[in-house]
Each structure stands twice: as structure tokens, then as C-alpha cells.
Amino acid sequence: MAFEIAVAIRYLHSRNIIHCDLKSSNILIDDNSNKIKIGDFGLSRIFNKSKPEENRGRIGTPHWMAPEVLRGEVYDEKADIYSYGMILWEIISLEIPYYGINPYKLISLVAEKKIKVVIPDEGHVLIKKLIEWCLEYDRAKRPTLDKIVAELERVQNLNKYYGKLGFIYL
């Protein structure tokens, strides 16, 4: 799932589309093929590279929004990468991020006080590493989707190899 979501977001970004509302409830699983689909493009935007200042405003669902978006600053595709990190966090924690916290209080906690979700001890090592990277407060330090996809492909290939030997690479 993590791989398919990353590939889908990478495709959107290759078309200069920023989803702006990535969250688990917008990730759908096709009943017939078990393939991942991304839904709810109501807040999506075409990223204007020549006028990045047009890409601003609080847009999305606060529990998954990047700090720069919460502050109403200019944002780019790295905001979706932050949201992707929150989705990965949900996958391994089996919880909703910041559950029960008022959205207005959450804006202050994440945007100004730099509070982050706690990454669980359990879970695949790579997924935990990706969560850390994606949830970087400084968007310049967040990985690209090409880097994320490459890391996930590497682990998939190792698991195929080691799976033939009877164990799974972690």
C-alpha cells in the first residue's frame, strides 16, 4: 500500500497537481484488484511554478496538513509528502493522527510549537524511517517522491529475493 500510494502521488506531482487533502479516508482500495486509488480532488491545485506565491492558504484537513500549510504560507508538493508521512504513520500505528485534538489547537501545536506524532516502536524499519523524513518540519529536508519510491522498490526487491530463501528482509 505504501508503495502504490507513493507512486500515485508521484504521478500527480509529475502533472504539477498538488492534492492538498491527502489522508487515509481519501485513499481507496479497489475491491476487484486490491489496487490503491486516490480520491477527493476537490481541494487539489495545479502548482504554479512561475508564481509560487499563489500556492498558499490553509487548505486540507488539519490533522494531516504540513506546518507551512497550517501557517498559511506558500507551499509546494512537499506538503503532500508531509501528508503521505501521516498516512504511513496511520498504517503502522492504527490510529488517527492527533485524535481528539481540536483542529484550531492542532494548528498551534504543529505549526508553532512543532509537536509531532510519536513514531511507534513496532513497524517496518523503512516505513518508520520514511515517516521521520516525510514529517520533517523544514519542507526542504523532506524526501522527494522519487527517493521514497526508490527506497520502497529496494525493499520490495530484497523481500522477493529473501522470500525465496524463506525469510523476509526488514
Residue positions annotated with a catalytic role: 21
Burial class (CB in 10 A: 0-12, 13-18, 19+), 100: exposed
Burial class (CB in 10 A: 0-12, 13-18, 19+), 51: exposed
Burial 104-128 (b: 16+ CB within 10 A, else e): eebbebbbeeeebbebeeebbebbb
Burial class (CB in 10 A: 0-12, 13-18, 19+), 76: middle
Helix (H) or strand (E) holding 80: helix 78-93
Distance CA 149, CA 113 (A): 31
> Amino acid letter at 18?
I
